[in-house]
Structure 1
Amino acid sequence: MSTPPRPARARFSTAVGAVSVAALLLTGCSTAEPESNQTSQTPVSGGNLVYATGDAEPTCLDPHVGGNYPQALVSTQYLEPLVSLNDDGKIIPWLATDWEEADDGLSWTITVHDDVQFTDGTPLNAEAVRANIEHLKDPETASSTGFLALEKVTGTEIVDEYTIRLNLREPDSALMESLSQPWLAIQSPTALERSKAENCESPVGTGPFIVDEWVKQNSITLVRNEDYNSPPADAGHKGPAYLESITWRFIPESASRYAALQAGEVDVIDNAQPDTIAAAGKNDSIEHLNAPRPGASNRIELNSSKPPFNDPLVREAFAHSANVDAGISSLFFDTAERSYSPLSSVEELGYEDPKLFTYDPEEANRLLDKAGWDQRDAQGYRVKDGKRLSLEFPVSTNQSIPAEVSLFEQIQATAKEVGIEINLNLLDLSSWYGALAQNNYDLVSAPYTKVGPDVLRILYHSDGIVPAPSGYFANLAQVDNPELDKLLTQASRETDPERRAALYEEAQKLILEGYYILPLYDQQNHFLYRSSVEGLRALPTVSTPTFYDVWLNR
């Protein structure tokens, strides 16, 4: 496919094209439930909000280091990116006021606010942005998410005190989407000069809150930034946050989190379980915020780099052996819908083909016979050349909710009926990463959150088999398909919306028809909160909650 002519250069400026804040606040939400809890009452300043998370406690509060969702959840409160998204998915200002792509697509020029300071007194300027780009790309930082998002950036140029140019090795249609993510948030260059350990303890940003204290395995205390003046363009107010402080507690056990919420000991909980959500619907004092994450769908990835899944017939057979629909129906209490796409339903360019993933044991048996797995051992499992058809499935207990683990167990049971053995190994996060690094897996469920369809390039381009500096590699299905590589590379360069959509559709067809993945459902993001919590919303970027506009009505 030839490269089409490039359209006129893209430009955004707060001076000439910004939608008013009032109009943005009236924009309808695209998710199933409202994105915020707003009333007509006058907000009250003060108070401490208690947030209880069930996600893994970060090992570092600097999301540049590594780059996982627990870091994004908490760092959203004290760090800010250059841009954000509105509810329609359009890029809007945050720390940046203006951005412009060069005619050849090989650079972006970005201007930041001239009146913003980090909470250590360091000014926000072009040099600060440069320091952050260099920090993310430095192998010593051990970034994964941020490093992969900036892999096309080759260097920077300071245009003037508040303007920087990012130079690229090739056009990147997803760059501004990437820069909206919390893993690329801008930190004080002065603070970044500290040791990694010190910066991990208390990153310094421009956000509405400041990291005051981190008591490991217990809580993080965030206090209000009294000088705050840099909200995103769609924020509900200006000036400092209403809340005086936030206590960010770590409560891994879901029943304990919900009990604390019911008792009024905490104000907001995340990782609400399906049965808990159903129960909360009967409680007038508790509200529900449903904010599915963008990027990839929740899916099981099939390691195509080694037997038995280097055989596409076996991959297809496994897909037909899994009774996913029945599991979701029985376990998720209508809080999740079956996905047939590599992309979250939040992404507009998702493509699906349900007929590829029907539960069909008869077809699974036929395919396994055809692939040469036509004998069975005494336990009923398929055998070929004296070896059992056995699959290793490491599962991170930090990333998988109980209902999801139960779903994996049901898939294990239906696969057994056609002669496939699945060894479910429940591991802590560190051991899970170790299993991936050693290529000791055949199946894996690994959530990956990213704004925009370019997540497909990160997850399924063969370049993604090579580890990032952090040691993590994103292409866990280990897809090595030149045709797919070409489509994903072209799509990442393409700025024409229709051509870009067509390229991503073709890429998704190859991924699905190759049975490299078994799609399950959207990445779940359910928050329950006391009805006294006003103004809570999830950012339209990666669906993390923001407490800047929140106040306590009690």
Structure 2
Amino acid sequence: MTVVSPAGRGLCAVLAFALTLAAAGCGGSAEGVGSAATTPRPGGTLKIAVSEDPVCLDPPQANFSSAVNVMRQLFDTLTDQDPRTGEIKPWLATSWEIGPKATSFTFHLRKGVTFSDGAPVNAAAVKANLDEVVKLGAKSLFASTYLFGYKGTTVVDEHTARVEFKSPNAQFLQATATTSLGLSSPASLAKPAADRCRAPIGSGAFVLDKLQTNHSVTVKRRAGYAWPSSLAAHQGEAYLEAVEFRIVPEQGVRTGVLTSGQVQAITDVQPVTERQFRQGGFQVLSRYNPGLPYALYPNTFRPLLGDEAVRKAISKGIDRKQVVDVVLTPTYRPATSILTSSTPAYVDLGKDLAHDPAGAAALLDGAGWKPGPDGIRQKDGRKLSLNVYFTTGFNPNTTILELLSQQLRKIGVDLQLRPVDAAGFGEAQAKKQIDFRWGNSTRADPDILRTVFSTKFSAAAYLPPTDLDDRLDQEVKTLDQAGRAEVVGEIQRTVLDRGYAIPVFELAQVVGVSKAVRGLTLDPSVRLRLHDAWLAS
């Protein structure tokens, strides 16, 4: 397989940006688990305990990491991304050409590939999938932003698809390696969007066998599969006969089912358990998440957080190092920007995120917030009391936010914790009750900033339209490597200078694995790859 070099000097720079900068995003303690010297043993069922129900298994609609871990086994993508270098590699597309201004991308598809329902993976299927992403609109939180300026897809011939945009789209090639743009069978696309969440049909190495809400998802090996990524360790069918993803929200229970041998791997290993596994004879696979760190995202439409001084004071009141030292482990890092340090075009703005309670107090004093009898600041008879909505998929979230609440109380801010599930978060958002949302976003490309902060795409940006939208548009249209990195740097500074986000720590995905497991790896977005995985016993 060969990749046709893109025409034009500017497009070479686009690929160079993905290669040279994404290479910085490939940290972690292991590239995979198990010995490469042993001969793979086909068969068996790998049991994995995950922290939350996937909710939806349709690539453009899915938002939870547990869903992506399952979907990576069911769906193939046009391209793949090398987790070591960031380079874009062939998968369903054996080669591609990019137009001189990155407004057109022509993909040459692998022949003989089929979806699990027997339909061919051809240019018409590529067109149907991309058209459907646009139709989904807001239901497709991530994928719809990847198709910024989408003009349409032309079926050149059965195995050639030309995707066109109204303006340059510097991030699109990398986007074709994400699970959000995994290809579904046209028959599946004909169903209502909600139905696709429960009945996925892809071209992947596994097919859905059984889905039990809040209990488990089981996928089984697809017979005759013969088109893995060019990065795969072997060609042909998956080694494993099946994979069972068990939904186990409680970290202590997840730890117990691994140590007792009921499962062979668990995701979302928590800090206290990580230490136990590293010392207790288990394999630990970890990689830093590229994208956005865990942060408080303020709703600037709420009365108290519309004031920039309040938002910036809260950022100064947070001791990020203490969060990592007290609650987490050395595997995690204090945030030093709104991009994680493993993301292309990251800029170290750590000095702007220093713990500065005196500076926080000065900002609040200047904004008219005076300490009340109980230490909580008041203004015009109203306390500086704010809520934060969060889910507990990452178990330390509660402990971390309790610590943040203690830190902020010292500067006179009352932070009220509101743990919710996905439905509860949606309800609170619909009722406009949210002051802060807490979370992170993962993608091995800085365009994740546009996905999250552009008011053109995300209602959860909680921002009014500003000149930041123009800079985010400029980022995706800039083809030159250095030029795009400069724009991304400006965006990071703007987000922090205006208090549009309050970063706290960089997440690492940590997977605990039995020594019986071989060949399990993580992709650049820290999701499980299981095509090459096998059980030694």
Both structures adopt the same fold (TM-score exceeding 0.5): yes
Residue 11 of structure 1 contacts residue 99 of structure 1 at CA under 8 Å; is this kept in 2? no
Give the distance between the partners of 1:333 and 1:209, measured in 2 at CA: 35
- Match of 1:187? 184
Give the distance between the partners of 1:209 and 1:361, measured in 2 at CA: 53
- Match of 2:110? 113
Aligned residues: 522
Counterpart amino acid of residue 551 in structure 1: W
- Match of 1:481? 466
Give the distance between the partners of 2:434 and 2:24, measured in 1 at CA: 43
Give the distance between the partners of 1:102 and 1:163, measured in 2 at CA: 15
Q: Deviations over 1:422-452 (max 9, x none)?
A: 1111112211122233332222213222230
Closer, same or farther: CA 11–353 of 1 in aligned 2, 3 Å = closer
Q: 2:516 aligns with which of 526, 529, 532?
A: 532
Q: Deviations over 1:475-528 (max 9, x none)?
A: 24x26431x233222221111111111111111111122222221222331110
Q: 1:7 aligns with which of 6, 9, 15?
A: 9
Q: Deviations over 1:69-120 (max 9, x none)?
A: 2221101111111111112101111111122221233221112111211111
Counterpart amino acid of residue 378 in structure 2: V
Counterpart amino acid of residue 317 in structure 2: S
Residue 9 of structure 1 contacts residue 100 of structure 1 at CA under 8 Å; is this kept in 2? no
How far off its partner does 1:142 sit? 2.7
Residue 321 of structure 1 contacts residue 414 of structure 1 at CA under 8 Å; is this kept in 2? yes
Query: For structure 1, which segment, 496-505 or 130-139, has the greater mean C-alpha deviation from structure 2 after superposition?
Result: 130-139
Closer, same or farther: CA 112–474 of 1 in aligned 2, 3 Å = farther
Closer, same or farther: CA 500–36 of 1 in aligned 2, 3 Å = same
Residue 137 of structure 2 contacts residue 144 of structure 2 at CA under 8 Å; is this kept in 1? no
- Match of 2:226? 229
Closer, same or farther: CA 411–31 of 1 in aligned 2, 3 Å = same
User: Are 1:147 and 2:144 matched, yes or no?
Assistant: yes
Q: Deviations over 1:138-177 (max 9, x none)?
A: 2389322222222321211111111111121211100111
- Match of 2:131? 134
- Match of 2:445? 452
- Match of 1:417? 410
- Match of 1:437? 430
User: Are 1:249 and 2:226 matched, yes or no?
Assistant: no
Q: Deviations over 1:207-249 (max 9, x none)?
A: 1111111122221221111211111111100010111111111
Counterpart amino acid of residue 445 in structure 1: W
Give the distance between the partners of 1:434 and 1:260, measured in 2 at CA: 33
Residue 14 of structure 2 contacts residue 480 of structure 2 at CA under 8 Å; is this kept in 1? no
User: Are 1:389 and 2:384 matched, yes or no?
Assistant: yes
CA-based RMSD? 2.2
Q: Deviations over 1:256-284 (max 9, x none)?
A: 11111011110110011100000111112
Q: 1:373 aligns with which of 366, 369, 372?
A: 369
Alignment of 1:133-532 (within 5 A): 133-139=130-136, 142-284=139-281, 286-374=282-370, 376-398=371-393, 401-465=394-458, 473-476=459-462, 478=463, 480-482=465-467, 484-532=468-516
Q: Deviations over 1:284-334 (max 9, x none)?
A: 2x1101122222121112222333222222112111112222122011132
Give the distance between the partners of 1:387 and 1:198, measured in 2 at CA: 46
Give the distance between the partners of 1:9 and 1:396, measured in 2 at CA: 41
Give the distance between the partners of 2:100 and 2:24, measured in 1 at CA: 34
Give the distance between the partners of 1:423 and 1:489, measured in 2 at CA: 35
TM-score (norm 1): 0.90
Give the distance between the partners of 2:339 and 2:57, measured in 1 at CA: 28
- Match of 1:59? 55
Counterpart amino acid of residue 323 in structure 2: G
Counterpart amino acid of residue 501 in structure 2: I
Residue 24 of structure 2 contacts residue 342 of structure 2 at CA under 8 Å; is this kept in 1? no
Closer, same or farther: CA 511–194 of 1 in aligned 2, 3 Å = closer
Q: Deviations over 1:17-75 (max 9, x none)?
A: xx9xxxxxxx9993131211242011111111101101x21222222224332221101
Unpaired runs of 5+ residues, structure 1, are 1-5, 14-18, 20-26, 466-472
- Match of 1:24? none
Residue 10 of structure 2 contacts residue 480 of structure 2 at CA under 8 Å; is this kept in 1? no
Closer, same or farther: CA 433–383 of 1 in aligned 2, 3 Å = same
Give the distance between the partners of 1:549 and 1:384, measured in 2 at CA: 60
Counterpart amino acid of residue 129 in structure 2: N
Counterpart amino acid of residue 332 in structure 1: L
- Match of 2:42? 45
Query: For structure 1, which segment, 130-139 or 70-79, has the greater mean C-alpha deviation from structure 2 after superposition?
Result: 130-139
- Match of 1:124? 121
User: Are 1:35 and 2:31 matched, yes or no?
Assistant: yes
Query: For structure 1, which segment, 88-97 or 213-222, has the greater mean C-alpha deviation from structure 2 after superposition?
Result: 213-222
Closer, same or farther: CA 169–130 of 1 in aligned 2, 3 Å = same
